[in-house]
Structure 1
Amino acid sequence: MSLYVRRWIKIALFNLFIVASIGVVLRYKIAFSLPFIDQKHLLHGHSHFAFAGWISQAIMILLVAYLATQRGETIYKRYRWLLYANLFTAYGMLITFPVEGYGLYSIIFSTLSIFVTYFFAVYYWRDLNKLKIKSTVLYWFKAAVFFNALSSLGAFALAAMMVAKIVHQNWYLAAEYFYLHFQYNGWFFFACMGLLTAKLSAHADLFILKRIFLLFVTAVVPAYFLSALWMNIPTWVYVLVIVAAFAQVIAWVYTLGVIKNQLPVLKSSMPPIAKWLLIFSATALTIKLLLQLGSTIPSLSNLAFGFRPIVIGYLHLVLLGMITLFLLGYMLAYNVITINKKTITGAIIFTSGIIINEIFLMTQGVAALTYTNIPFINEALLAAALIMFTGLLLLLVSQNKKRKSDLNHK
């Protein structure tokens, strides 16, 4: 990958470090006391910046990098202003949400962020149409940018309810889950699968790759109701939800089959640390899909969405275990991140922190089902956050050290 991509990725990694830093503060405030910080406001800043400043920023960079391999590096100039605009709105939300919560300026920045995604979707869709070689990869990327735009309907619905001061709990949750679903099951997931498919398509059965895409894309809309089974939905919608959950599992089994057939090639073309991060990401996705399948049982769904620790554990499983580890593994596999001893150590520590964090969150969630209080669980979660923070700090230091040495060499 070009030096241009590496520079942007370093910015995205720094943003991930900021997300981890805020995570430490949030966990510290729960375990101890920080009276001058509004927990809810900071949490909003944390989540919005994680979505826009880290994941979306990284995905946009990698999608543009893919386009550059097809159309030449001059394409970077076309998207530079969009990458800067997304970064600007992300930092705007990072500053305004902790200060005022949902207020005038935070809503302005979040709205501007949505418009940036619209522009990116239109630009990217048009550039994909200009490519001479049509492949399944393009379907994944088109679906990704479409679902990113679609998710904004949930955000606008939330804003409309707040402005009108008519916030019914069910409708509020429905709008919130709509946004979240089409972000992490649409934009994030489809973009990552597109990047993966781009690497698999050279030696894979194109018919199987197309089948995998069709199964996932037809399932994504009805799968939204997996997050809304607590609502009074019609029986036929419930049947579609079950079919969608099974379709996603089947599609993933097909994907694992394609990966298995290419294991010798994949192993030889990537460093061990990248391989392990991608394995952990695949494991997280497998757990996620099985949990979704299990949640089609109404009693289990009511339990899961009735306890906040379980919801938080699930979101962290997806955003950290599945998406973040995939992005880091992909970057390491294809030399977007410079690999040295500190890089490897940082990646190992960060991944360990994610696993420990997930174990503690799920333990807390299961204990909540029986209203059991686990001693020192908040302190344990703070420790997990500090482990992730330490790992990312090492990752950043490793990249900056390399850059300085390069400058000295020149």
Structure 2
Amino acid sequence: MKSIYYIIPLVNFFVAALFGLLLRSMFVFPVEGVTFLYILHTHSHIALLGWLYLLAYVLFVQKFTLDTPKEQKFYTKLFWVTQLAVLGMAVTFPIMGYAAASITFSTLHIICSYIFVVHLWKHNTVLGTQQGTLLRTALFFMVLSTLGVWCLGPAVGMLGKTSAFYQICIQFFLHFQFDGWFMTAFIALLFATVFKGCSLSKFKPFYYTWILSVVLTYALPLSWYVELPVLHYLSAIGVFLQLYAVGYLVKPIFSAIKKETNGRGIFVWLLVILVGICFIMRITMQLAVVSEVLATQLQALRSWIVGFIHLNMLGILSGFGLWLMIQEHKLSVNNWTKVAIILLLSGFILTEAILFIQGLQGFIGEIWIENTPLLLFYASVLLPVSIACFLGSYLKIRKL
């Protein structure tokens, strides 16, 4: 697809970062007439559905579809309808939160995603390949995750928003969006980018182990609302299976990425290193909560939960997505991009460190740094500035 279709998700990323900065400011500076929960919903929806979803959308079209006028016309029209849904959510959620208008735009986005799934499932260029298997699996998980959304209405009507079933539905959606749809989608894109015509020699054991790990690790968020000791054992098995699955990829993926990234400079390598370190940290944190006692204690530490979500969204998925944009020559490695990468790394590391300190202080009951909300706000400023620099990199390309 044309570069403009990559930049729209990046603009959404910038808007999501601004809403995230507003959230951080509300802990420091009083903001009249603004509802925290409404802004939180706006931030999360734009980041998830406007940035990551649309980025995966354009990359899937780029990698897995025929470059014919008919196909490109279909995906272009669907892209703009989906973006309309994102804009609708960006306008309605800050004003009213979950209400008729915002729910309508959210539903429109889901319908667009279903159309995307059905068409791409039937019409793709990688049927019968490893990339094709991962592609269809990612699409399946995307549809599966939306079952959690459709169950929210009955959950509210029968049991209310404070019920365990309502929270289970939300966690079902989030888990299979992150671990199922997005993680598998980006693994499929990784295969398509670095392996190209080659295959992974031990694909089947990797694939089945990965799928089983995605399903079993849902037991952890489920255990927060259902008191069944077996859920913690299932979660532990899922984490170890995920570690085992990743083990199949480490050597061949590292070798392939090294070949792809050489010659592009240290700044592009920084994105690769960021993704790798964050994935290791993700596995480590999942291993830490294998303990039922520790998992229960960490559940109450909001800053660590936020830090873990950002570890996945910013560190792994966004970092890898930006690397793919560079690989596809949608972003050039110019001075704007170099500054953007440095600011992104600085903002990410600082905010994650401050969130960790906040959580640690709450965990042990001692205060070392009293002004962490203010520090977190200042560190968060770097993130939208970084994305603005990525946009500046694109504008510079357009002028050349």
- TMscore range, shorter length: over 0.9
Q: Which residue of 2 aligns with 1:21?
A: 18
Partner in structure 2 of residue 381 of structure 1: 376
CA-atom RMSD, angstroms?
1.9
C-alpha distance 384-52 of structure 1, shift in aligned 2 (>3 A):
same
CA pair 368-398 structure 1, distance change in 2 beyond 3 A: same
Answer yes or no: is the 8 Å Cα contact 1:280–1:322 preserved in 2.
yes
Shift of 1:269: 6.2
On the 8 A contact 1:53/1:90 being kept in 2, the answer is: yes
Give the alignment of 1:116-265 within 5 angstroms: 116-128=112-124, 131=125, 134-164=128-158, 166-202=160-196, 206-232=200-226, 234=228, 236-262=230-256, 264-265=258-259
- The answer to whether 1:87 aligns with 2:83 is yes
AA of the residue aligned to 1:15: N
Which one-letter code corresponds to 1:253 in the other structure? G
| Aligned residues of 2:127 and 2:133 also touching (Cα < 8 A) | no
- Structure 1 match to 2:395: 400
Give the partner amino acid of 1:313.
Answer: G
What letter corresponds to residue 124 of structure 1 in structure 2?
Answer: L
Pairing of 1:363-378 with structure 2 (within 5 A): 363-373=357-367, 374-378=369-373
Whether 1:325 and 2:322 are equivalent positions in the alignment is no
Q: Which amino acid aligns with 2:390?
A: L
1:300-336 Cα deviation digits (max 9, x unpaired): 1101112211111111111111111110111112312
Q: Deviations over 1:33-85 (max 9, x none)?
A: 111211111111111111111110111000000024xx224332221122112
Return the match for 2:298 from 301, 304, 307. 304
Distance (whole Å) between structure 2 residues aligned to residue 115 and residue 180 of structure 1: 18
Cα distance change, pair 254–185 in 1 and its aligned pair in 2 (3 A): same
**Worse-superposed segment, 72-81 or 109-118:** 72-81
12-21 vs 150-159, which moves further = 150-159
| Seq. identity, % | 26
CA–CA separation in structure 2 for the residues paired with 1:177 and 1:235 = 18
Q: Would the alpha carbon gap of residues 381 and 270 (structure 1) be closer, same or farther in structure 2, given more than 3 Å must change?
A: same
Kept in 1, the 8 Å contact 2:264–2:333? The answer is: no
Task: Quickly say closer, same or farther: Cα 1:305–1:264, change in 2 above 3 A.
Answer: closer
Check whether the contact 1:5–1:61 (CA below 8 A) recurs between aligned residues.
no
* Matched-pair contact (CA < 8 Å) for 2:232–2:292: no
CA contact (8 A) 2:149 2:173 kept: yes
Amino acid at match of 1:179: F
Does the Cα contact within 8 Å between 1:52 and 1:86 map onto a contact in 2? Answer: no
Change (3 A) 1:291 1:204: farther
Against the structure 1 CA distance between its residues 121 and 133, is the aligned structure 2 distance closer, same or farther, given a 3 Å change threshold? closer
Aligned mate of 2:53, from 51, 56, 60: 56
Structure 1 residues 202, 96: closer, same or farther in 2, change over 3 A?
Answer: closer
Distance 2:197 2:270 in 1: 22
Task: Tell me which residue corresponds to 1:272.
Answer: 266
Aligned in 2, Cα 1:202/1:59: closer, same or farther, shift over 3 Å?
A: closer
Residue range with higher mean Cα deviation, 333-342 or 190-199: 333-342
- Does the alignment pair 1:100 with 2:96? yes
Q: Do the aligned partners of 1:313 and 1:365 also contact (CA within 8 Å) in 2?
A: no
**Is the 1:136–1:213 Cα contact (8 Å) retained in structure 2?**
no
Contact 1:271 1:332 in 2 (8 A): no
Preserved contact between residue 27 and residue 378 of structure 1 (Cα < 8 Å): yes
- Give me the whole-angstrom Cα distance separating, in 2, the residues matched to 1:203 and 1:11: 30
Deviation at 1:261, TM superposition (A): 3.6
Q: Deviations over 1:274-314 (max 9, x none)?
A: 22202211211111122112212101110111221111111
Q: Provide the residue aligned with 2:283 in structure 1.
A: 289
Label 1:72 to 1:365 Cα distance change in 2 as closer, same or farther (>3 A). same
Kindly provide the amino acid, as one letter, of the partner of residue 289 in structure 1.
I
- Could you list the runs of 5+ residues in structure 2 that have no partner in the other structure? none
Counterparts of 2:274 and 2:361, CA distance in 1: 25
Question: In the alignment, what sits opposite 1:11?
Answer: 8
CA contact (8 A) 1:226 1:292 kept: no
Cα separation, 2, equivalents of 1:299 and 1:103 = 38
State the distance in 2 between where 1:72 and 1:14 align. 25
> Aligned-pair distance for 1:202?
4.2
1:242–1:293 CA contact under 8 A, matched in 2 = yes
Q: Distance in 1 between matches of 2:127 and 2:94?
A: 46
Q: Which residue of 1 aligns with 2:349?
A: 355
| 1:41 and 1:98 in contact (8 A); partners too | yes
Distance 1:246 1:59 in 2: 27
C-alpha spacing 1:136/1:156, structure 2 compared with 1 (3 Å): same
Confirm or deny: 8 A CA contact 2:64 2:126 kept in the other structure: no
